[in-house]
Structures are given as structure tokens and as C-alpha cells.
Amino acid sequence: MPNNKRKNQGNKNKEVTMKPSNEKDTTIQDYEDDDIEEMQEADLKKLIRTLRSSQKQILELQKSLMDKIENLSRENEILRRNQNETKQLVQQETGIVTEVKNSIDQMKNTIESLTNRMGEAEERISDLEDREQERIQSDQRKEEEIRNLKHIARNLQDTIKKPNIWVLGVPEGMEREKGLEGLFSEILAENFPGLEKDREILVQEAHRTPNKHDQKRASPRHVVIKLSTVKRKEKILKCAREKRQITLRGPPIRLTADFSSETLQARREWRDIAQVLRENNCQPRILYPARLSFVNEGEIKTFHSKQKLKEFVATRPALQKMLKDVLHTETQKHGHQYERR
């Protein structure tokens, strides 16, 4: 019995110390074969239960480890695929970046080329503008020269025509008997008896104009009488203005100065204005070569252009009211002429 008690005590000393099954770190003691043989049945059952529990925990741990390994394997595969995809994306992005860089380089080259072309085009445009400006200035100088030449030619023609008198309304063929000079002497005798005997009135030349008679013309050609001096011409025209009614063998005729076509047109442009002034007792006169003269507020005013007249009229309300319609009509006429041009 004592031996059995010692054995039992030894067995008790060699019992397996285990933690509760819900704890993960269960401790299992190592047993030798001799110890197992000496153990009682209850202890063996307890040991078997402990071993089974440990085996179950090992299996669960193994399963958990396998699951973790499988998860890690899947994650690794996913990472590998992601790495491959990332690598492909990086390669694609690298290719795109390379293409973009090449495109940018091409755009830079294109922009540089366009910039150079634009610079060349601007230089050409600048040259063309300079040439155009020079051409405009040259044309302006030419136009100014042409105007000056026309003005000189007009003055020259007016100077040449200054001693001339036009006789209007002399029937064709009437000069066959006495000639044009004889007819002019007859006009002086019939209308200005005092001038007939004036020996200073000498006719240097007499002819009709135009040179060729147009059979379809309703009125006869004008007779041009060239006198020796301008003074005699002015005297005759002054007498004609005073007499107003000039005749030749009864029918009325007209005596007027001879002007160039430009001066004649300029004088005609004053007619409507002069008529309105005459109706208002302003005593208008068209002076040589084409100036308008009239009396306003007791003073004689003379104008060589309509622009100057308009500027003066703008400062005289009464005169402005008088000439409002005729000046407006003249402005409209010039506007229509400009549109036709």
C-alpha cells in the first residue's frame, strides 16, 4: 500500500496541467511510457480528452494556417496581376508621354516655323504697306499736279478768252452779207450808238463755235468776237447789262463773256443762288472768273466757293433762312453726283 500511495502521489505529481479549452495557450506535459502504464483509468481518460482537444486545436490551427496561406496566395496573385497591370499601364503611359512629348516637339517646330513665316509675312506686309503708302502719296502728288495743271490750263484759257465776247442767238447764214465783224458793228450801232464810233473797239477775230454746224441743233452756233483789249470788252458788257434788252434787226440776242468750260460750269453753279438773292434785292453779280458778289446788311460780300458762302450764311440767321432751300438743294445735287461717281 505505501508503494501504491507513492505511486499515486507520483502520478499526481505527473498529472497534466491544462488550461480551460477556451484558452489558446493550453500546456500539455510530456508523459513517458512507464508513467502512462502506472496511470489510472480516469487519468488516462483525462489525458485522452486532453490529447483529442489538442488535436482538434491543431487541426483548427492547421486549417486556419491553410486559409491564411490560401488568402496570402490569392492576395499575392492579385498583387502580381496588379503589378503586371500597373507595369502595362506604366508602359502605356510611358508610350503616351513619349507620343505627347513628340507631339509637343512637333508643335514647337510647327509653331516656330509658323512664327518665322508670320515674321516674313509681316515684313512683306510692311513692305507692301510702305509701297502702298508711297503709291498713295505719289497718286496724291499726281492728283495735286493734275489739279494744278488743270487750274493753270483753265487760267490760261480764261486769259486767252478774256478779250472775247460771245454773241448768242445770231441766226445761221446772217453773216454772209457783211461777215461776222460787220454783224458785230451792226449790233453796236443798233444797241450802243455811242460805242459805234469808238475807234479803240477793234475786232481782231470773229468766228462761230463749234466749227462744224450740226443740222440737228435747234439753236444757232455762238459767235465769238475777239477784241483788241479787255477794257473795251468790259465796257461793252457793262452797257449790255445796263440796257438789258439787246437786239439784232429786231429779234433779241445776248452778249456775254467767253470762258473756259470749267469756269463756265463754275459760274452756272451760282445761278440758283444768285436768282434767290436777286428776288430779295441783294444785288447779286457773278464776277470774273467765277465769284459771287452780293450786298448784305449794307456791305458787299464776295465768295469764290460755296463752302465759304455756307460758312458765312451760318453766322447770318436772316440770310440762312433766305438761302436754306437752295443750299439744301445744292447739297443734294452734289451728293447724287458723288454717288454716280
Assess contact for 291 and 194: CB atoms under 8 A: no
Among candidate residues 208, 234, 258, the one where a domain is terminated: 258
| Within-domain flag for 292 | yes
Tell me, yes or no, whether 104 and 137 share the same domain. yes
Tell me, yes or no, whether 206 and 286 share the same domain. no
What is the per-residue pLDDT for 244? 83
What is the per-residue pLDDT for 39? 58
* Closest by Cα among 113, 97, 227 to 163: 227
Among candidate residues 160, 186, 212, the one where a domain is terminated: 160
What is the per-residue pLDDT for 26? 43
Tell me, yes or no, whether 82 and 97 share the same domain. yes
pLDDT higher than 50, residue 336? no
- Binned at pLDDT 50, 70 and 90, residue 19 comes out as very low
Tell me, yes or no, whether 73 and 148 share the same domain. yes
Q: Give me 290's grid cell.
A: 467765277
Tell me, yes or no, whether 74 and 140 share the same domain. yes
| Within-domain flag for 1 | no
Range of the domain at 105: 68-160
pLDDT in tens, 101-134: 898 998 899 998 988 998 999 999 999 999 999 9
| Within-domain flag for 17 | no
What is the per-residue pLDDT for 32? 57
What is the per-residue pLDDT for 136? 93
Instruction: Return the percentage of the chain with pLDDT > 70, whole number.
Output: 81
CATH code at position 181: 3.30.70.1820
| Within-domain flag for 38 | no
Tell me, yes or no, whether 147 and 178 share the same domain. no
Tell me, yes or no, whether 248 and 185 share the same domain. yes
| Within-domain flag for 15 | no
- Binned at pLDDT 50, 70 and 90, residue 193 comes out as confident
| Within-domain flag for 182 | yes
**Could you report how far apart the first and last alpha carbons of the chain are, in Å?**
155
Among candidate residues 145, 160, 175, the one where a domain is terminated: 160
Number of folded domains that form the chain:
3
> What is the b/e burial string over 286-302, where b = at least 16 CB atoms within 10 angstroms of the residue's CB?
beebbebbbebeeeebe
Tell me, yes or no, whether 84 and 149 share the same domain. yes
More confident residue, 188 or 40: 188
pLDDT in tens, 223-279: 999 988 888 888 888 888 888 889 998 899 999 888 888 888 888 889 889 999 999
Q: What single letter denotes the amino acid at residue 326?
A: V
Tell me, yes or no, whether 318 and 266 share the same domain. yes
| Within-domain flag for 341 | no
Q: What is d(CA 133, CA 110) in angstroms, rounded to the nearest whole number?
A: 33
| Within-domain flag for 141 | yes
* Residue 222 burial (10 A CB sphere; 0-12, 13-18, 19+): middle
